[in-house]
Structure 1
Amino acid sequence: MTETLLAIDCGSQSIRALLFTPDGTLLSKVQKPITEYRSENPGWSEIDPLVLWELLGRCCRELWECGEDPAAVKAMSVTTQRGTQIAVDERGIPLRPAITWMDERIEDRQKPLPLLWRTIFGAAGLSRSIMSVRSECEVNWIAVNQPDIWKKTYKFLQVSGYLNYKLTELFRDSSGAQVGYVPYDYKKQQWAGPSHFLWKLFSFKPSHLPELVEPGKPIGKLSAEAAQHTGLPEGLPVVSAAADKACEVVGCGATDATVGCLSYGTRATATIHSPKYFEVERPLPAYAGGLPRMFTPESSVILGYWMVNWFKEEFGHPEQEKAKKIGSPVEVFFDDLLNSTPPGSHGLTLLPKWGRDNGRSTPVKGAIIGFGDVHTRGHIYRAIIEGITLELRRGLKKIERKSGEKIKILRVSGGGSQSDAIMQITADIFALPTERPHTFETAGLGAAIAASVGVGIHPDFDHAMQAMTRQNEVFQPDPKTVQLYRKLFKYVYLPMPARLAPLNKAIRRIVG
């Protein structure tokens, strides 16, 4: 009987149950879409947490229905979307829908900060950022608008903390999964100390927070109720992993700051693994890594590959029909669309600012410039891919400068990495060799690596990553295309935000 490791990857668009062997081979996978998001008001995004738990159980049970053996599973770990928050009572029952990371509600009715802290933030030039953080914090919104629910709240959990509770009946979560408006000391990778300023910003009490467990350490054992729900053996070890982006870096096999890691998911990100804490853009911290005492300083496009899916749904019906007719992956036909359009999209350039930008309450407007009668659907699609990648290049360059280490190679994960054309565009825009890991399920692989360490299949993360990660293909930059993208980046893309700022202000003033 082959030993296996089960990873649960709960992203924004789907949840997956993934079975890996100790050498990192993906044996089997069941994936279910997450479609039950709801929005009672413009800009809101909520989901019933029980939907996620039900989908997790269905994914696991279908693995065994497909012939996989639950008795062969030696440990499991959970990795999830970041910044989606859930208020629960003492029995772990949700008191209201989860507020997702895509939610844009704000609450400006906050108690004034003490004079000392107002003075300190003002002197540091952070007054506006602090005001935005307080107004965007989910806990603060609940405390003001639903005080009865807040009074009943026993714990306030990330999705990972909620699912770990459902699996083990313990309020424990990974120290590598705490992302969002919570009193977490990112530098020390623990809950903020009693005198930390974060307690002044948020409505939390220490009792609202789960116990933290570092990646690779046991969270608990599978409860009888969870065993029945999933079809797994009662008592199975549940091991701490990390948030999905942190697990992706582990699953890419990146151990130091010379490897740039790109994630082409709903939120597209650029990051490195660094032993050094530094902030790329204040007030955003460097998030905890998927390895203990490592950091993943990050730059992101908030609704990155959501834009790609938007294009496919709105304009990609011909490609979807072709794929359905011949039973081929739809990405093949979208690659044809990219390959039929030249680098630079005949001057069509996109600024991928969809949704609220980091640390700002006012949404930043996106834009496409350079339209002409030569442009087609293919140009728009390529401009979206190029715009996201140009923005990630801007961010990764800043990370490189602050880390002091030269990035020598890129590794790309997430759904977008399945596309050869997107991989080549990435290599050309960054002017770096760009590797595709042996599986695009790198978040799940990172969680499986943590599980393997937690039960001693591998003695530590270094040995586990050596055994379980490898690169599949390398895309080399084309020198001629590199020069074209360099000019577009310097003379067109970088000046766009400042040039468009007055127009964006006028749009907000006129139509909101």
Structure 2
Amino acid sequence: MPAENLLAIDNGTQSVRALLFDPRGNLLAKQRIPIESYYSEGPGLAEQDPLVFWNAVCQACQGLWQQPGVDRGSIAAVALTTQRSTLVNVDREGRPLRPAIHWLDQRETKGLKPVSGLWGLAFALAGASDTVAYLQAEAEVNWIRKFQPEIWDKTYKYLFLSGYLTFMLTGRFVDSVGSQVGYVPFDYKTQKWAGKHDWKWQAVPMDPRVLPELVPPGQPLGEITPEAAAATGIPVGLKLIAAAADKACEVIGSGALDPHIACLSYGTTATINTTHDRYIEIIPLIPPYPSAVPGAYNLELQIFRGYWMVSWFKQEFGHEERLRASEQGVEAEIFFDELVRQAPPGSDGLVLQPYWSPGLRKPGPEARGAVIGFADVHTRAHLYRAILEGLAYALREGAERTSKSSGVKIEALRVAGGGSQSDAGMQLTADVFGLAASRPHVYEASGLGAAIDAAVGIGLHPDFASAVREMTRVSQTFEPDPKVHAIYDELYAKVYLKMYDRLKPLYQAMQKLGG
């Protein structure tokens, strides 16, 4: 029997998974290795030893081979998807020169020389100078060059985590176009490294030679080396096919290939994504990201630390649920659906704005989280429901901005990530949007998206439309309740959408006070 199964390696924020899929998108086997997301040696810093990620990849793969019925000889290709924007400096031999800078890192580099010349003038005339300065301050390479020049001088390649793991698997300094999400001189419109006169080379100065070769999704990155095969157990010589970053893979893994279908990701960062074949900036200078489909774009809006807020609530207010979970040997999250049902839709007027960790996309960097409407009737159940409602409001606002910018109305939702496992959360999402919300047939949607790239890359399916049609489907759909949607509609329009503008002066005052 010819080899036709697909190995997907998914390096997320909290774990690394080795996943075996068949050509129909069925998950045949899975091995998960938890990892420490990062360590911090100062306020806002988040770093990790790159070998933590690589060792977890090896453990996950080796564990997969021990499972009943798993045949390494059945694997036709491998694909890799990883967390976005985690960066690794390596020497000529691919050895890390410093800890990886994690995507949750919040360091900034102040006092940088602004972009000058015609580009600087153009940004000033367009009122975009502050946006460019923000991007410069956020760029990790600028921090390394200023505070660790000896590291930068020794850097042979500057890689995202995807590029580092690709090197460990293939011995080549190459990465997928679909993984280029971060502060590097990448032209998101052409999906290539920026041209030599592009302003990005001023904003994040570097020698182009420190960047890896780029390969479109669905094309080979290389072959598994004997050294990688010994460490992981993956058959030597097997092709590693370019996939994309985890969010991009999650989009196609959930079946959201049509621009009328939005993929909501209820993960550490909550996002709304749609796939388009046109380059569209929802916010000026903030580009759409590369899709897991070559030449396509993901129009994305983010709620940074989105479903992190659920973990925060569990830690700070969920003692009862954690205790019950411990006694019964289950995950605490299964009890939180009960909390949602203890409070009515609209949380009796308690409204949350989920800007706990604002960024540049929306809102501005001055924003803070807010909860308004407290009264004596409110309980922790109301607060928990208000968190879920606030996240759904923010993503609905993102959907409306996306539709306005693209001219394509969003008509259906696919919901992935940890939060998608909550029936109450799924129903709440459908009710806030007034749209059917569907759960993909597998929880591992990002891994499935990587497998789809591999399947097309080796010809198991002739194109991405066919692969998505054959390998994805929904397991359950939640239809909106018209009466509940009417409640949310009124709160969204009359309260939520007005909160940011009303509170912005207070946020700005707090920012000046250093609070």
Structure 1 portions without partners, runs of 5+? none
Over 3 Å counting, the alpha-carbon distance change for 1:378 and 1:223 in structure 2 is same
1:221 to 220, 223, 228: 223
Over 3 Å counting, the alpha-carbon distance change for 1:361 and 1:338 in structure 2 is closer
Counterpart in 1 of 2:194? 192
SS at match of 1:31: strand
Matched, 1:31 2:32: yes
Over 3 Å counting, the alpha-carbon distance change for 1:271 and 1:321 in structure 2 is same
CA contact (8 A) 1:260 1:270 kept: yes
Distance 1:58 1:70 in 2: 15
Counterpart in 1 of 2:134? 132
CA contact (8 A) 2:366 2:511 kept: no
Counterpart in 2 of 1:317? 319
Q: Give the percent of matched residue pairs that are identical in Structure 1 and Structure 2.
A: 50
Distance 2:504 2:225 in 1: 54
Q: CA deviation at 1:507?
A: 2.3
Matched, 1:399 2:402: yes
Counterpart in 1 of 2:11? 10
SS at match of 2:310: helix
Counterpart in 1 of 2:472? 469
Task: Count the aligned residue pairs.
Answer: 512
Counterpart in 1 of 2:507? 504
Distance 2:143 2:357 in 1: 19
Matched, 1:369 2:385: no
Aligned AA (1:473):
Q
More deviation, 463-472/2-11 = 2-11
CA contact (8 A) 1:273 1:295 kept: yes
1:145 to 144, 147, 151: 147
Counterpart in 1 of 2:307? 305
Aligned AA (1:422):
G
Q: CA deviation at 1:364?
A: 2.4
Distance 2:306 2:216 in 1: 29
Q: CA offsets, 1:154-175, max 9 Å, x none?
A: 1111111111111001011110
Distance 1:128 1:511 in 2: 19
Counterpart in 1 of 2:419? 416
Counterpart in 2 of 1:83? 85
Counterpart in 1 of 2:210? 208
Distance 2:26 2:148 in 1: 47
Distance 2:114 2:486 in 1: 52
Counterpart in 2 of 1:454? 457
Distance 2:65 2:95 in 1: 28
Aligned AA (1:48):
D
Counterpart in 2 of 1:168? 170
SS at match of 1:9: strand
CA contact (8 A) 1:104 1:356 kept: no
1:336 to 335, 338, 341: 338
SS at match of 1:96: coil
Aligned AA (1:101):
W
1:437 to 418, 426, 440: 440
More deviation, 140-149/333-342 = 333-342
Distance 1:488 1:315 in 2: 25
Matched, 1:48 2:49: yes
Q: CA deviation at 1:328?
A: 4.2
Counterpart in 1 of 2:115? 113
Distance 2:219 2:88 in 1: 23
CA contact (8 A) 1:257 1:403 kept: no
Distance 2:24 2:117 in 1: 56
Distance 1:242 1:44 in 2: 26
Q: CA deviation at 1:112?
A: 4.0
Counterpart in 1 of 2:23? 22
SS at match of 1:499: helix
Q: CA deviation at 1:380?
A: 1.3
CA contact (8 A) 2:114 2:203 kept: no
SS at match of 1:494: helix
Using structure 2 for the length normalisation, give the TM-score: 0.96
Distance 2:150 2:289 in 1: 32
Matched, 1:481 2:484: yes
Distance 2:96 2:153 in 1: 13
The Cα RMSD (Å) is 1.5
CA contact (8 A) 2:48 2:102 kept: yes
Q: CA offsets, 1:313-334, max 9 Å, x none?
A: 2222322332333344433211
Q: CA deviation at 1:240?
A: 0.2
Q: CA deviation at 1:455?
A: 1.8
Q: CA deviation at 1:77?
A: 0.6
Q: CA deviation at 1:252?
A: 1.4
Q: CA offsets, 1:203-231, max 9 Å, x none?
A: 22110111111111110100111111111
Distance 1:97 1:395 in 2: 34
Structure 2 portions without partners, runs of 5+? none
Over 3 Å counting, the alpha-carbon distance change for 1:121 and 1:432 in structure 2 is same
Distance 1:180 1:400 in 2: 24
CA contact (8 A) 1:106 1:361 kept: no
CA contact (8 A) 2:188 2:287 kept: yes
